[in-house]
Structure formats: C-alpha cells, structure tokens
C-alpha cells in the first residue's frame, strides 16, 4: 500500500493506492485500485504457488498472467523453473530472479484486483490484473478495458455509475459481467483498426506517388477496398 503497509486482496477497496512496477522494470510507482471484479471466498480451484530464489512467494490461478523476464506476461500454468520473475526488494529496487520451485495445490478463495494500470505487486512479485480468458494476452485485455476505466473515472462524479463497479451477492461486478458480452466486438475492433490504418496509409502513399508521377488514377479508393476484400477472404 501507499503507506508501506500490507493488505489481503479481499480487503482492498476501490480508490486504494497500490504499488506497481513500471513496464521497463526499473522502478515502482503508485496506481489506483479500480475494482475487485471477482471475489469468491468459498470457491476451490487449482493454484500454482511460485517461490523465487529470493524467497518471494505467490499463488495464482492457472490462467492468471504474471510478468516474466524476456516473455512479457505468461499464464501461471506455463511457468517453469527456467523463467525469471520481477521482485521488489527490501532496499526498494526491482530485481529479476529465477523461479526456485512451482507447486500445484488446491486452495479455497478466489480474488482478483484490477488497477488503472493493469498490473500490481503481490507479495513483492510483479503480476498482471488480468487472466487468460480467451480474449488475448495481457496488453490486449488492458486495451479492451479502456471503456471500463473511463466509466470508473466518471463514476466519481456520477453516483448512478458506482453500483456498476460494486460486488453483487455472487461476488462479481455488473460492469465486468456486461463486459463479456461486448468483449468479442472490442477484440475485433482492436485487430481491425491497425489493418485499416496500414491499408489506408499504403493506399494514400500509392495515390500520392501516382499523382507525382502523373499516373494518378481516380479508382485508388476502390482499389483499396477491393484489395482489403481479397485479403479478408
């Protein structure tokens, strides 16, 4: 926490300041806890308990992403003792350290915390806020959560939005439950937009070249859409 204290994930509230690691792995800074989308204290699932050479220890569900040196983020079930994790040392520095042992064990109690930056330090180990839910890797999950982050900021000014980020009687938040319905659309848009940008850029460059060389064609845009249709098949 911001004051140097420790809290269990189940006790963290939206708005709490959480320490996270910078993407380049050189420093730590504070990020705001946005919500706990999943809290099921009575659910028993298979956990992967990882212990590093430095003595840091963390238990994650099989599909939860964790930061791995040279591999960005990997689900816990893909970890091996050949991987190195990023850990926060007592002297305030970040260090990469090899995994010493990985144990599989059934545990009761499933909690997940999402910060505005999409990552956090848990027991001093850098981990993701996201799980491998079939929608893509860590960074894609963070991008498609953009509308939810926007809604969270708005909920500070409009009280009617606050309930969407609160846990219901089933230990889940309404906003994340709804998110599952439009997630596939957002993933499609996330993948489509870069393709359109690249194709439009190529089209513009081709058109400009033809214009400067006196070979400009009026059907450049039609050519682009015909090309895009063929590549989409």
Distance CA 94, CA 51 (A): 16
What average pLDDT does the segment 74-98 reach?
96
CA pair distance 224, 3, nearest whole angstrom: 56
Domain 9-172, CATH homologous superfamily name and number:
Hedgehog/Intein (Hint) domain (2.170.16.10)
Q: Lowest mean pLDDT of 115-124, 144-153, 184-193, name the range.
A: 184-193
C-alpha torsion sign, points 142, 143, 144, 149: positive
Instruction: Write out pLDDT tens, residues 188-222.
Output: 666 665 544 444 444 444 444 444 445 444 444 44
- The model carries a pTM of 0.75
Query: Rounded to whole angstroms, how far apart are CA atoms 29 and 131?
Result: 22
Distance, in Å, from the CA atom of 114 to the CA atom of 117, rounded to the nearest integer, reads: 8
Question: Tens digits of per-residue pLDDT, 36-73?
Answer: 887 888 999 999 999 999 999 999 999 999 999 999 99
Taking CB atoms within 8 Å and a gap of at least 24, the contacts of 6-12 are: 8/111, 9/36, 9/111, 9/112, 9/113, 9/122, 10/36, 10/39, 10/41, 10/109, 10/111, 12/36, 12/113
């Amino acid at each position: 926490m911001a004051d140097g204290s420790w809290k269990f994930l189940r006790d963290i509230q939206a708005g709490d300041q959480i320490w996270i690691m910078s993407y380049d792995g050189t420093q730590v800074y504070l990020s705001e806890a946005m919500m706990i989308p999943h809290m099921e204290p009575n659910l028993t699932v298979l956990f992967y308990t990882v212990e590093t050479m430095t003595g840091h220890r963390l238990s994650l569900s099989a599909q939860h992403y964790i930061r791995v040196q040279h591999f960005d983020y990997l689900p816990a079930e893909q970890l091996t003792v050949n991987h190195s994790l990023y850990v926060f040392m007592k002297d305030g520095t970040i260090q990469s350290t090899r995994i010493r042992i990985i144990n599989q064990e059934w545990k009761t109690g499933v909690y997940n915390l999402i910060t505005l930056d999409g990552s956090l330090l848990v027991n001093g180990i850098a981990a993701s806020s996201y799980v491998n839910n079939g929608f893509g890797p860590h960074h894609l999950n963070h991008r498609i959560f953009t509308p939810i982050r926007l809604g969270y900021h708005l909920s500070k000014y409009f009280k009617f939005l606050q309930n969407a980020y609160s846990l219901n009687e089933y230990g889940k938040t309404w906003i994340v439950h709804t998110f599952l319905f439009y997630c596939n659309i957002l993933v499609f848009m996330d993948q489509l937009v870069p393709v359109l940008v690249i194709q439009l850029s190529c089209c513009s460059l081709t058109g400009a070249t033809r214009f400067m060389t006196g070979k400009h064609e009026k059907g450049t845009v039609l050519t682009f859409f015909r090309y895009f249709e063929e590549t989409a098949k």
